[in-house]
Amino acid sequence: MEKELNYIDLVEQPISMHPKKFALWLFMVTVVMVFAGLTSAYIVRQAEGNWLDYDLPVIFWITSGIVVLSSIFLHFAYYSAQKDNLAGVRIGMSLAVLLGIAFLIGQWYSWIAMVDREVFFVGNPSGSFLYVFTGLHAVHLISGVIFLIIVLISSFRYEVHSKSMIAMEMATTYWHFLAGLWLYLFMFLLLNH
């Protein structure tokens, strides 16, 4: 006999989300708001004049490829965790961590390239915005790399598998968010420098 659902049964079933996931989503919304405010300020300040035009160094293209590749490897690790493929989790997570670190090193070299082009943090506001965008993103990326390392260590403790996906889901969500945020910033700078 089928159980009939009535209105009361539907009302009493709340939509739920793990509290840590909810906190992560709130954090990501605040990060979006911060960068939306900064990009808006960039556009307003650029319209006022006294703006240094410069070309972005090639390293920005390379780091963009690196962050996309790291996101792909992390997604491989995520799917491996869903299938209880522990070796795949460890390989994907390790490569995502290494590529995340490579991205950060690449960002450091992008700053060196900008200094070589005489674009400095202090001086013209166009350079200041570039360093603030990339520096603030790097701070968030460092937190993402730390998160990935924690999940990688958890995988070696057999704590990441199909029945325990919260940390993996959160790390994947946050990392994809950071990759998407970088691609947005990169395209914004390409179109507005």
For 119-144, write each residue's pLDDT tens digit: 888 888 888 999 999 999 999 999 99
pLDDT at 54: 86
**Counted domains in the chain:** 1
Distance CA 89, CA 86 (A): 5
CATH number at residue 70: 1.20.120.80
Backbone angles phi, psi at 164, to 5 degrees: -140, 80
Distance CA 89, CA 78 (A): 7
Structural domain contains residue 34: no
Structural domain contains residue 38: no
Structural domain contains residue 18: no
Structural domain contains residue 17: no
pLDDT at 11: 55
Structural domain contains residue 3: no
33 confidence band (pLDDT: 50, 70, 90): very high
For 152-170, write each residue's pLDDT tens digit: 999 999 888 888 889 999 9
> Could you give the percent of the chain with pLDDT greater than 70?
92
Enclosing domain of residue 96: 59-192
